[in-house]
Amino acid sequence: MTASPLFVPPYYSVIFTSLLPEHTKEYGETSDKIYELAQTQRGFLAMDSVRDAAGHGVTISYWRTEDDVIKFRKIAEHRHAQQSGRNTFYERYEVRVAKVEKEYAWRRKADGAGEYVKRGP
Amino acid sequence: MTASPLFVPPYYSVIFTSLLPEHTKEYGETSDKIYELAQTQRGFLAMDSVRDAAGHGVTISYWRTEDDVIKFRKIAEHRHAQQSGRNTFYERYEVRVAKVEKEYAWRRKADGAGEYVKRGP
């Protein structure tokens, strides 16, 4: 799943990189729950999530303000703790909170030509 | 490949999300060249890159300053243009430039216990 529509900067992103030794059913259920929770939170914009066959994953969630990020982090951590996620699922993970200042996008149009879009300063 | 060591914020990230309909040899070669180029550039810190079987990819490069990002973007775009990358490889892509303000990490230690690290304000 990779949503990533365009928003108007500035806004916030949470970059979650991880190594998952084994993709269990429990992990999938916890991930799904956190994604569902995120979507109901104030300031949620979108989420991009990709994991490869070796277990390397990147999930980026986008939020309107830093305050929205802080609120969601508390909820996600609580959920992870409930599921003992941190100690069970991952070999390692990193969380980075980053303010998106500029964005650009390119799309292939129906006629095959490209369309280039820029947002922000 | 997911490197993502810990740095001390603030620093910059370039979040590149894309959909690649087909993983060709030419694409692999161009990607490798851009990664090699990045590593030689001033201010380069690290890169995380993951693509799944459906062609959804996220590549995040980390840089010391915004100026380093701008310089690298020009080089990467030039290389992509040389390879007609934008028009050949991708169905769509987004580029976001984001300032990393905080970061946290968790590692599983040799004894199986976890270690939690925080950097930044």
H, E, C per residue of chain B: CECCCCCCCCEEEEEEEEECCCCCHHHHHHHHHHHHHHHHCCCEEEEEEEECCCCEEEEEEEECCHHHHHHHHHHHHHHHHHCCHHHHCCCEEEEEEEEEEEEEEEEECCCCCEEEEEECC
Residue of A103 and B88 predicted with greater confidence: A103
Which chain B residues contact residue A17 at CB under 8 A? 2, 4, 48, 60
Of A91, A104, A106, the CB nearest to B108: A91
* Nearest-by-CA chain B residue for A66: B101
Which chain B residues contact residue A91 at CB under 8 A? 108
Of B51, B98, B106, the CB nearest to A13: B98
Mean pLDDT by 10 residues, chain A (121 residues): 75 94 82 87 93 92 95 79 62 92 86 77 63
Structure confidence at residue A85 (pLDDT): 46
**Per-residue model confidence as pLDDT tens digits over B38-84:** 999 999 999 999 999 999 999 999 999 999 999 998 887 767 666 65
Structure confidence at residue A89 (pLDDT): 80
**Per-residue model confidence as pLDDT tens digits over B20-43:** 888 778 888 888 888 888 999 999
Structure confidence at residue B11 (pLDDT): 96
Domain extent listing, chain A: 11-119
Model confidence pTM above 0.90: no
Residue type at A85?
G
Say whether A51 and B50 touch across the interface (CB within 8 A).
Answer: yes
As a CATH number, domain B11-119 is 3.30.70.100
Structure confidence at residue B104 (pLDDT): 87
Surface-to-core class of residue A110, CB atoms within 10 Å of its CB (0-12 exposed, 13-18 middle, 19+ buried):
exposed
Residue of B90 and B2 predicted with greater confidence: B90
Which chain A residues contact residue B97 at CB under 8 A? 100-103
